Structure 1
Amino acid sequence: MTGHTTARQRLTAELLDALRTDGGVRVVTGEPGCGRSTFLDHAARLFRAGPVRHVRADRAHELDDALRTATASGPLLLCVDDADLWDAPSRAALARAAARIRETGVRTTLLLTVAGHRPPPPELSDLPVLRLGPLTPAEAAPLIRERADSEVAPAVREELITEAEGNPALLLALVRRLSPARLSGRRALPRPLVDGEVLADVAGDRLPDDPGGLLLTTAAAARATGEEDADADLVLRACRAATDAPLPDLLTRGEGRLRFRSALMARAVHALAAPEHRRAAHLALAEAAREAEDILPLLHRSWAVPDPALAASLASAATDPASTTPPALRRTALVRAAELTPDGAERARRHLAAAEQTLLAGGVADALRLLDQARGPSAPTPVRGGAELLRGAVLLADGPVEDARESFLLAADLLPPHAAARATLGAADAAWSAGDPASCLSALAPTRTPPTLPLAQACVRVPQEPAAPDEHRGGVAQVGATAPRPEGVAPVGDVSRDHRDGMRAVLLARFDLAAAPLRRVVENGLQGTDPDRLLRSAAAALMLGDVTSARRAGARALAAARTHSSAALEPRALEYLAYAELRAGRHQLARTHAEEGLRTAERTGQRNTAAHHHAVLALAASIEGEADLVTEHAEAALRTARRHGLAQAETLAHWAAARA
């Protein structure tokens, strides 16, 4: 039995148990392709208390007889699929049956399914609802294995899961679309992976007419921001519609925002529209914007009129340091700027900048795809170095750490001194994470001062000083270096040199030489609000054993990451904070931060960071004597640690298990 089936069966079993005590009626809803009919089939198979009857609209008159039978003979499960498609009189009969079950406690369970992409029928609107959410990655992976006729490469599987957004029907449509060569990774995936043909297969027959263009304009506005809703005033201005105009059934309005009831339908509306209608919608949004030179109007204009002259304006708006634009929107603008850029070298620079913003927004797999486009033969040496530096950072957070070390070392050879300093710190961190102190010392050797320029997010895990036997070592701290700006980057300066010198002295057991440079790193970071320097400060404080400063720097780094909308830095800041809380003896706070860090690491695709959070949780559970939790988190840490060569996380997990 697949993991997908098991998860849905578990949900169904829990629902059937609950229905015995809370009225016996539930409306099961969700977007097209979410598996409503399959859910109903699971319920029918799991119901053991009595007979199951599937009622069709043309047999609605039999409901009263069925309820009388249940009263006389015992429990009954009534299943009604697509109740929203019944005619009004039949729905009224269904509503009367539901009311009788709820009011009299007759021994009958009634499950009905209705579509979730439009309002429920009025006859059924007062009934309790269960909305089927998207599949989790853990539920989607076995479904792919079950339905694919050939081997599926891990990277392909992860992209399928990401692109399907938890919709089972869309996921299966993607699997059917791909040849064995593409599923195995031997041939490149088509771009875009989810196109109009796939969406038409899943949702095309459910799309209503859109004479006023309100659906398409809302979908276009949401696509630009990457959000699930759109500014209602902007959309209505673009459509020249009255503010009190009635909305199509697919849309809902609240707090000044327009939102599709189904994310799948939003994607389908945009993808299946005629190209000239899409361009017109984007142009109308650009012209309706209040500030024509803002990033969103420029982006809409670029989709309406693909003019290469817009590329520079888009890139400039996306890299403006004074802008509060979130990384996800900067990424979209930079990708579009790259698409419009004819010069190969400049296009590579913009792909690199887009990859940086993608990583800041938490898109690990997408960042790697963009980096592939920044490493082509036309890319200048500094850009190729920047791509390797960013690739090293990505792999350090979510990949084999020995591969990360090699990317960092290559970056150090391609980059000028200041950016190369970040690369050598990254290489040292990767070597330490792999349990290779000799390579760590080699990377930190003061003679390594290769050629730089802008560079990218490097996260560095560094060892702490030995802790007393009854103390909880943080084991590692992470340092995230600010990513490159497309127009150049401020020098790293003495901070990287001090951090390097302090790490090297610790590794050589020259603690007398380590204290001064590490103390300067701590103090430098705490003087400002830069997330990079705060993370370096937290790491250095942990090496010094200064848990007070480590906690302070970790908390400020977390606040700074949130202020800068840097989803990628949040789980790392939470890791520092959790380790510092452990060392300070504040085990419950450590657990709280590690639990949050684990959620954000999983959401942003940072499996290595997640493994370290699992290790913290295992350590915290070992202190509390919770053996089951120790086993759960230690095993989770070890699964990733062994696959990606995380010797330190593996050691910490074993330590927690031994304590338990």
Structure 2
Amino acid sequence: MLYGRAAEQATIERLVAAARDGQSASLVVSGPAGIGKSALLEHAAAAADGLRVIRAQGVEFEAELPFAGLHLLLAPVLDRIGRLPEPQARALAGAFGLAAEAPSDRFQVGLAVLSLLAELAEDGPVLCLADDAQWFDRASVQALTFAARRLHREGVLLLFGVRDGGVAPEPAGLPALRLCGLDGDAAGALLDAGAPGLASRVRARVLAETEGNPLALIELPRALTAEQRAGEILPLSYNFGALPLTDRVRTAFGAQASRLGEPAATLLLVAACEETGELDVVLRAAQSLGAGPAALEEAERSGLLVASGALLAFRHPLARAAVLQGSPLVRRLAAHGALAGALAVSARPDAGDRVAWHRAAAATGPDEQVAATLERTAHRAAGRTGYTAQAAALERAAELTPGASARARRLLAAAEAAVAAGDLRRAAAIGRRAAAEPGEDTLGPGIGRLRAAVEFELGSPRDAARILLDASAGASGPVAVEMLIDAVRNGYFGGDPGLALEAAARLREAAGESPFALGLDGLARLMTGDAAHAVPRMRALTRHALDGPDPALSPGQRLVAGAMALITGDDDSAMAVFGPLVSEARDQAALGWLPIALEHLSIAEFFAGRLRDAGAHAQEGLVLADTTGQTHRLDHLRCILAWTAALSGDEDRCRDLTGAAIGRALERRNVRTAAWGTMALGLLDMGLARYGQALDRLDAAVEGPIGTHYAATYFAPDQVEAAVRTGRPDRAAEPLRRFQAFAAASGRPWALAVAERCTALLTPGEAAEKHFAEAVRLHGQDGRPFEHARTELLFGEWLRRAQRKAEARARLRSALRTFQQLGARPWTARSGAELRATGDAEATAAGESPLDRLTPQELQVVRLAAQGMTNRDIAAQLFLSSRTVGYHLYKAYPKLGVAGRGELARLVHADGAPGAAGAR
């Protein structure tokens, strides 16, 4: 019976009932030790009639073993691995050490967990209980969180019990239920049920000291002697009130353990040091220390240790902690040594790793043999993408390493593993220790790359560029080239032409006249305004990636080449690079670099007028970046989503997305993100006819930290129009000059057209017409339909003012259609108003597509279904379950007015609007 938890029990019961109805959910039950998390999870299991229950409990000593917690949870259902798609089956088997092949991406295991749980749910609803998840290893938590955030309509309920202050990060982004102490009535009822007959003043003291903590209410009275319970001696003779509650409970367990005889105490200590509860291992180790089977019987009688079949478990983790805390160091060392010996003959696949950790725990000083064994354990962990475990093993190996050189090498490797695990702050701390080792100049480039990676994500791109430049002086060959490529990129993100130029010059020295050296030199030159020199070199790098393509190019190098196309306005080439990159990332389940590929693809799609796809891909990238811990990328993606919000006139969403993002970017001197966010706000102002506000915002950005390169490519057309509309043409001259230079170097028809449009706005009288006409002609050769429609709108306004209403109507109708198709509501309203001013009665014709009614996720599912993909294929592409895909289709059909899958291809093909072109 649970006391005082009626509301929490009802919450659990509702989730269980929803799982029976096919609705998936997750919940993190958190709170301090003993507050009742495990009891609530047990209540869920008791209420789960008709659900299959799989469960695991985290073990403190396994927090450094990769995928240990996940293996405990899924061990009963591993026979289903063969039903998963082959790459996922390989990933999960490799993670668990059941196959030689390791997963190629640390998040592939999460995708495999998602598929496995969905597969189990095909036979009926499933309840997964992960108790003491604070002691799950980080890799397991990441995989389970990934799966939990993508379960929707499968009938899977994931419940986590998490104690405050655990080793692994709490599952992020999941619904949470935090438990507090019981109220007075419930606490009293629980105390009276477990410890009847306490003297009144003892009862009052216990209630006051336990703060409503159920475990304390049960265990503290057990630590009292009969005299204390009767009130004859002041209860709890140790200094009860001076300790935190958890320490008081631990002390109570320790008092019970201290009453055991020497052999039972030894066996209890061995069990506390052994992480899996395997009875045979504990008995072998305890036997070697003189504690035989009789000691087990006494330990069981104490109630601290419970035997179930071939497993041992402590009544509560705090009991284990009390035993460890109450044992002298020399006895703990002996216990770990005995366990290493007992495990050496074990047939378990992870026995070697456990032996290594126990030998390390038994070491009293530097020991190269133990350190080398731990390093081999680290390599095995890396082969299973258990990078957190790899970092821990290498860090401990370094502590046991006698020589400074080898110690520094292992520390650097540990820091690099922490970066791979996404634990950047830990990486920085370990890296500082590596750098502090004496005489390790040879590690300078490696330490520099590490520091730069951390700085780029958590600090300033400019500082990261400087770190790389300084550290690259000690590097050579491909390492130096890679460092200098990153330095140019970081200088670009940081808006520092000097840094970018210095890095580009060094890159040309290291790599000669290679396409990457020349292309990145062009990027650095573009930042100085030298577009004529820059653009051809940048375009050459894009062609290098597209012509072939070179199989030696990594995804990161292809991303750089595609970015050159975006920056120079070559949207078609950008799509040709990023479309296949996204497809490859999906096929390979490469979730590490998929968010950045989606980010760049969504930018190209936005400019190409594929706004629905741009929004869907940016939103997907945002969710994946959040799931994979790419915090730096989140603000980039928020700003792209803000563009679509600005275009549609959704002011609240635009400001919500950009507000904090711009502030963080400026604080970190990340100029690119700040520019994107400012572009969104400027576009919003322009759409809502707040021209003075737009002009002041954009001018301030250009004159402030954002820089002229961004102004030329992003801000200049809006600056020119805003200046003209506010009667300040003098403030348009410099933006026009910069954009004309960029357009001439770019040679893209859309850019030349916008330059002509801006020139027309600043040209008095009838002479403006030829520039407008030339702009319209150029737009007909190239993409960017939004810019085309803006030109048509401005030309139509000019013609109406010249009393040429019939000609104006043609331009304004064209603009109106495009704005409607793009969902650009403020611009649609302006075009309609201009048309009405010409006497056109059809100025407000609707332009909504049925696809506009879909959510971003539904849109992606519908597009893939229209290509003939099965639900299983779509699930693999979008990292969902097949059942969730089916649910999205079920919700989409009535919105689209179709009866089934067969009609989707026709509908999607017929929707040929600029904002709705098919997904790539």
Q: 1:115 aligns with which of 207, 214, 222?
A: 214
Q: What is the CA–CA distance in structure 2 between the aligned matches of 1:303 and 1:351, rounded to whole Å?
A: 18
Q: Residue type of the partner of 2:191? A: L
| Match runs of 1:504-583 below 5 Å | 504-507=521-524, 508=526, 509=531, 510-521=534-545, 527=551, 533-544=554-565, 545-554=573-582, 556-557=584-585, 570=592, 573-583=594-604
Structure 2 residue aligned with 1:593: 621
Give the fraction of aligned pairs with identical amino acids, expressed as a percent: 25
Q: 1:86 aligns with which of 158, 181, 192?
A: 192
1:420 aligned to 2:480? yes
Structure 1 residue aligned with 2:633: 609
CA contact (8 A) 2:35 2:215 kept: no
1:640 aligned to 2:664? yes
Q: What is the CA–CA distance in structure 2 between the aligned matches of 1:636 and 1:253, rounded to whole Å?
A: 54
How far residue 313 of structure 1 moved from its aligned partner, in angstroms, is 3.1
CA contact (8 A) 2:371 2:397 kept: yes
Q: What is the CA–CA distance in structure 1 between the aligned matches of 2:217 and 2:546, rounded to whole Å?
A: 55
CA contact (8 A) 1:199 1:271 kept: no
| Match runs of 1:294-373 below 5 Å | 294-306=352-364, 307-319=367-379, 323-324=383-384, 326-373=386-433
Q: 1:440 aligns with which of 500, 511, 526?
A: 500
Q: Looking at CA atoms only, which structure, 1 or 2, has the larger radius of gyration?
A: 2
Structure 1 residues 533 and 283 mapped into 2: Cα distance closer, same or farther (>3 Å)? farther
CA-to-aligned-CA distance 1:525-558 (integer Å, 9 cap, x gap)? 9958xxx922332342343343354244246457
Q: What is the CA–CA distance in structure 2 between the aligned matches of 1:215 and 1:551, rounded to whole Å?
A: 60
Q: Residue type of the partner of 1:610? A: L
| Match runs of 1:71-150 below 5 Å | 80-81=186-187, 84-88=190-194, 114-115=213-214
Secondary structure of 1:32's match?
coil
Q: What is the CA–CA distance in structure 2 between the aligned matches of 1:620 and 1:247, rounded to whole Å?
A: 68
Q: What is the CA–CA distance in structure 2 between the aligned matches of 1:353 and 1:443, rounded to whole Å?
A: 26
1:286 aligned to 2:336? no
Q: What is the CA–CA distance in structure 2 between the aligned matches of 1:546 and 1:524, rounded to whole Å?
A: 16
1:391 aligned to 2:431? no
- Which piece of structure 1 moves more, 354-363 or 283-292? 283-292
CA-to-aligned-CA distance 1:46-71 (integer Å, 9 cap, x gap)? xxxxxxxxxxxxxxxxxxxxxxxxxx
CA-to-aligned-CA distance 1:592-617 (integer Å, 9 cap, x gap)? 2212313433xxxx543333243344
Q: TM-score, normalised by structure 1?
A: 0.55
CA contact (8 A) 1:428 1:443 kept: yes
Structure 1 residues 312 and 581 mapped into 2: Cα distance closer, same or farther (>3 Å)? same
How far residue 356 of structure 1 moved from its aligned partner, in angstroms, is 0.3
Q: What is the CA–CA distance in structure 1 between the aligned matches of 2:478 and 2:655, rounded to whole Å?
A: 43
CA contact (8 A) 1:117 1:250 kept: no
Q: 2:330 aligns with which of 276, 288, 299?
A: 276
Q: Residue type of the partner of 1:547? A: M
Q: TM-score, normalised by structure 2?
A: 0.41
Secondary structure of 1:415's match?
coil
Structure 1 residues 199 and 89 mapped into 2: Cα distance closer, same or farther (>3 Å)? closer
How far residue 264 of structure 1 moved from its aligned partner, in angstroms, is 7.8
Structure 1 residues 282 and 247 mapped into 2: Cα distance closer, same or farther (>3 Å)? farther
Structure 1 residues 90 and 270 mapped into 2: Cα distance closer, same or farther (>3 Å)? closer
Query: How many residues end up aligned between the 2 structures?
Result: 444
Q: Residue type of the partner of 1:641? A: A
How far residue 238 of structure 1 moved from its aligned partner, in angstroms, is 6.2
Q: Residue type of the partner of 2:443? A: V
Q: Residue type of the partner of 2:468? A: F
CA-to-aligned-CA distance 1:573-596 (integer Å, 9 cap, x gap)? 413323313533311232122123
How far residue 347 of structure 1 moved from its aligned partner, in angstroms, is 0.8
CA contact (8 A) 1:389 1:411 kept: yes
Structure 2 residue aligned with 1:409: 469
Structure 1: runs of 5+ lacking an equivalent: 1-14, 23-27, 37-76, 92-111, 121-175, 177-196, 223-228, 451-492, 563-568
Q: 2:516 aligns with which of 499, 522, 529?
A: 499
Q: 1:629 aligns with which of 631, 646, 653?
A: 653
CA-to-aligned-CA distance 1:114-173 (integer Å, 9 cap, x gap)? 5379999xxxxxxxxxxxxxxxxxxxxxxxxxxxxxxxxxxxxxxxxxxxxxxxxxxxxx
Structure 2 residue aligned with 1:204: 250
How far residue 652 of structure 1 moved from its aligned partner, in angstroms, is 1.4
Secondary structure of 1:435's match?
coil
How far residue 424 of structure 1 moved from its aligned partner, in angstroms, is 1.3
Q: Residue type of the partner of 2:193? A: D
CA-to-aligned-CA distance 1:254-303 (integer Å, 9 cap, x gap)? 9x999999888877765665323433443354344446984442222222
Q: Residue type of the partner of 2:405? A: A
How far residue 403 of structure 1 moved from its aligned partner, in angstroms, is 2.1
CA contact (8 A) 1:314 1:333 kept: yes
Secondary structure of 1:649's match?
helix
| Match runs of 1:209-288 below 5 Å | 211=264, 220=273, 273-288=327-342
CA contact (8 A) 1:401 1:646 kept: yes
Q: What is the CA–CA distance in structure 1 between the aligned matches of 2:647 and 2:391, rounded to whole Å?
A: 43
CA contact (8 A) 1:539 1:550 kept: no
How far residue 445 of structure 1 moved from its aligned partner, in angstroms, is 1.4
Q: Which has the higher helix share?
A: 2
Q: What is the CA–CA distance in structure 2 between the aligned matches of 1:595 and 1:519, rounded to whole Å?
A: 32
1:429 aligned to 2:446? no
CA contact (8 A) 1:199 1:268 kept: no
Q: What is the CA–CA distance in structure 2 between the aligned matches of 1:294 and 1:441, rounded to whole Å?
A: 51
Secondary structure of 1:309's match?
helix
Q: Residue type of the partner of 1:537? A: R
Structure 1 residues 261 and 538 mapped into 2: Cα distance closer, same or farther (>3 Å)? farther
CA contact (8 A) 2:594 2:621 kept: no
Q: Residue type of the partner of 1:638? A: I
CA contact (8 A) 1:83 1:113 kept: no
How far residue 360 of structure 1 moved from its aligned partner, in angstroms, is 0.9
Q: What is the CA–CA distance in structure 2 between the aligned matches of 1:534 and 1:215, rounded to whole Å?
A: 53
CA contact (8 A) 1:32 1:203 kept: no
Structure 1 residues 376 and 511 mapped into 2: Cα distance closer, same or farther (>3 Å)? same
Structure 1 residues 643 and 251 mapped into 2: Cα distance closer, same or farther (>3 Å)? farther
| Match runs of 1:16-95 below 5 Å | 30-32=31-33, 80-81=186-187, 84-88=190-194
Q: Residue type of the partner of 1:275? A: L
CA contact (8 A) 2:251 2:322 kept: no
Q: Residue type of the partner of 1:631? A: R
CA contact (8 A) 1:220 1:282 kept: yes
Q: What is the CA–CA distance in structure 1 between the aligned matches of 2:311 and 2:216, rounded to whole Å?
A: 17
Structure 1 residues 294 and 35 mapped into 2: Cα distance closer, same or farther (>3 Å)? closer
Q: What is the CA–CA distance in structure 1 between the aligned matches of 2:454 and 2:672, rounded to whole Å?
A: 18
Secondary structure of 1:546's match?
helix
Structure 1 residues 231 and 82 mapped into 2: Cα distance closer, same or farther (>3 Å)? farther
Structure 2: runs of 5+ lacking an equivalent: 1-6, 15-28, 38-182, 198-210, 220-241, 258-263, 566-572, 685-920
Secondary structure of 1:442's match?
helix
